[in-house]
Amino acid sequence: MAGRPRTERAKPLRLACWNADGVRGRKLELEHFLNQHGVDISLLSETFLNHGQAFRLANYVCHRTDRPTLWGGTAILVRRGIAHHSVPIPGLTHLEATAIQVTMAGKPVKILAATFPPPAH
């Protein structure tokens, strides 16, 4: 039986930020990088994912914000077992963003992946 996620992290998180420039065709590259470097949370920009396109990586939970047109999009990959939850970001008009919250040293910490996309094509 799998253990429950802890509500608070006892060790530092290892984060990575990556401009994916289209994540679907680079999934193996991303998986290799995350595993090789022991990344706990990865912030992705320019995912180019559309609503309805599945994107999953083993051992990670994916939170994402897709753009209705081509280009743009953000995502956050969180290693399974890390207690977290998605955080809404209301009122964005020019930025695209995805946010989560974790607890570190007893305090809530928000982590945000954001991009300033090019104008709609």
pLDDT one-digit tens code per residue, 7-19: 554 678 999 999 9
Residue ranges and CATH numbers for the domains of the chain are: 15-115 (3.60.10.10)
pLDDT one-digit tens code per residue, 64-119: 998 777 678 899 999 999 999 999 998 888 888 999 999 988 899 999 999 887 66
3-class SS letters over 58-117? CCEEEEEECCCCCCCCEEEEEECCECCEEECCCCCCCCEEEEEEEEECCEEEEEEEEECC
